[in-house]
A and B are shown apart, each in its own frame.
Chain A
Amino acid sequence: MKAFLLLCSLLPAEPHAFWLTIGKEKTYVRFSESPSTTTVPGFDQPLANRTGVFIASKPATAVNQLALTMGTEGGFHNLVASTPSSLQDPSAVAMVEGEGLKGM
Chain B
Amino acid sequence: MVVLPGRFEEFPDTLIKFWFSAPLAKAHADWEYIDQHSTNRLLVSLRPAAACSTSSSAEVVVSFAGKPLPGNVSVDLHTSSGATVGTVFAINGRATVSMPDKVAFARTRHTEPSPPHIDPVTGGTYHKIMHVATTTTNGYNRKRCYGAAVEEA
Q: Which residues of A contact B (CB under 8 A)?
A: 5, 8-9, 11-26, 28-29, 31, 33-37, 46, 50-51, 54, 56, 58, 61, 63, 73, 87, 90-104
Contact = CB atoms under 8 A, between A and B. Distances in A.
B82 A34 contact: yes
Interface residues on B, range: 35 or more
Contacts of B109: 15
B62 to A, nearest CB: 14
B122 A19 contact: no
Interface stretch (B5-13, B48-56, B64-72, B90-98): B5-13
A34 B122 CA distance: 26
A97 B17 CA distance: 14
Given A17-B107, A94-B24, A58 B33 contact: yes
B5 A99 contact: no
Given A104-B14, A104-B15, A36 B80 contact: yes
